[in-house]
Amino acid sequence: MKQMDTEKLLMIPGPTVVPTRVLNVMALPIIGHRTKDFGELTEDTVDKMKQVFQTKNESYIVTGSGTAVMDMAIANTVDKGDKVLNIVNGAFGDRFYKISSVYKADAIKLENEWGDLADPNAVKEILDENEDIKAVTIVHNETSSGAKNPIEEIGNVVKDYNALYIVDTISSLGGDYVHVDKFNIDICVTGSQKCIAAPPGLSAISVSEKAFEVVNKTETKSFYLDLKAYKKSWDKNKETPYTPSVSLTYGLNEALEMVLEEGLEKRFERHEKLAKATRAGLEAMGMELFAKEKARSVTVTSAKYPEGVDDKKFRGLLAEKYNIRVAGGQADLTGKIFRVGHMGSAKEYHVLGTLAAIELAFEELGINADGGVSAAKEMLLK
C-alpha cells in the first residue's frame, strides 16, 4: 500500500477529523450482518440517530454517502412530471435540482445568490402559484458557500400546503440546531462524515407518516434505495435490506454516543463559538467574508482571497508546510474564495492553529495578515 500522509489536520467542510475513540471501535471483529448482535447494534444506532434528528419519525441507516439519501428522498416520492420546487443557493441545492431532473420531475428552481439565504416569502409565492407542487427541497447548510438557510421558517410555510418538505442536513446535523419534528420536516437526510465526526460512507434518512403515504403511491425507481424495502426489512427484523458496512456502523454508533454525551445544546454552542472565532480571526487579517452576515454558517466559514493570491499556492502552502487542509471554492467561486471547516470534533486549538498557519501562509505570499489569532482568542475568551 502506498505511503499516505495522514498527519494533516482536516479543516475542510468534511470529511472531518475522526476521534480516536471512534477509530478504535472500527477495529472490532466483523460480525454477521444478519445476527442478533448486529441487529441490536443497528437498532441502537438508529435510536441514537433519531435523538440527534430530534424526531419520532422512522429513520434508516444507509450504506452510501449523503448523495445516496438525497437520491433516495427524490426517487421514492417523485414520479415523472411531478412538480418539485428546488431551492438553490449553492452547489448542493443544485444537486437536488439535478436529481429531480434525472427522475423526470417538472423541476422548478428557486435560485438565490450564493452566500445568501432563501426567502420564505418567495417560497410561499411559488407554492401559491403552483398548488400541485409535490415536494420542496432545500439544503440547510451550503458548504459550497458557507451560508445556511432558514429551514424552520420555510418549514412553517410548507406545512400549510400538500407538498412534502425535504431537507438536506448533511453538513449541519449535530453541529447546528435541527429539530425534524418541530421544523415540520417530512424527509431529512444527513451524512456520517461532517458534524457527527464519523468516517465517510454512511448516511441516514428520517421519513414522516405523511411522506410514507406518498412513497406508497409512488412508482419505485430504485432497487438499492427503495424506501419500501428498507421499511419492510426494518419492521420485520430490524435489519437493512442489503449488506451494510459493519465497521462503519461500529464507528457511527460510537460517534453518535459522543454527540449525545456532549449534549446537543452544548455541541451547538461549541460550533457557534468556533464559527465566531474563525470569522473574527479572518476579518482581523483583512479578509472579507463571503457569506452575508445574516446567512453565515456555524460549521464552515468562507472568505474571499485578497487581490493577487493564487488559490493553489495558498492552499498548497497550508497543506505541505503547515500540514493543514482548507478547501477552495466550487463552480464560479473556484480560485475566488477559500473555506475553513470547524465542525464535528473541532476544538479551539484547531481553529487557533489553522488561523496561525493562514497568517504565515499569507505573509509568505506577500500579504500582511497579522492579528487573526489574537482576535480569535479574544472571541473564544468571551
317's grid cell: 502552502
CATH 3.40.640.10 domain position(s) in the chain: 20-261
Which CATH number is 9-13+264-380 given? 3.90.1150.10
pLDDT-based confidence at 1, cuts 50/70/90? low
Q: Which residues contact 233 (CB under 8 A, 6 or more apart)?
A: 239, 240, 241
Give the number of other Cβ atoms within 10 Å of residue 7's Cβ. 6
Euclidean distance between CA atoms 33 and 245, whole angstroms: 9
- Among candidate residues 311, 267, 303, 312, the one with its CA nearest the CA of residue 285: 303
For residue 247, what pLDDT is reported? 98
* pLDDT, tens only, 262-284: 999 999 999 999 999 999 999 99
Strands 133-139 and 164-168: parallel
pLDDT-based confidence at 7, cuts 50/70/90? confident
Q: Taking the mean position of all CA atoms in its chain, how far away is CA 39? A: 27
Average pLDDT rounded to a whole number, residues 367-378: 96
Dihedral angle sign, alpha carbons of residues 224, 169, 108, 58: positive
Does residue 2 carry a pLDDT above 70? Answer: no
229's grid cell: 424495502
For residue 196, what pLDDT is reported? 98
> Strands (DSSP E) along 65-105, which ranges?
83-88
* pLDDT, tens only, 64-86: 999 999 999 999 999 999 999 99
| CB-count burial class (<10 Å; 0-12, 13-18, 19+) for 132 | exposed
pLDDT-based confidence at 382, cuts 50/70/90? confident
CATH 3.90.1150.10 domain position(s) in the chain: 9-13+264-380
Which CATH number is 20-261 given? 3.40.640.10
Query: Mean of the per-residue pLDDT values for the chain?
Result: 97
pLDDT-based confidence at 110, cuts 50/70/90? very high
| CB-count burial class (<10 Å; 0-12, 13-18, 19+) for 179 | middle
The DSSP line for 350-372 is: HHHHHHHHHHHHHHHTT---TTH
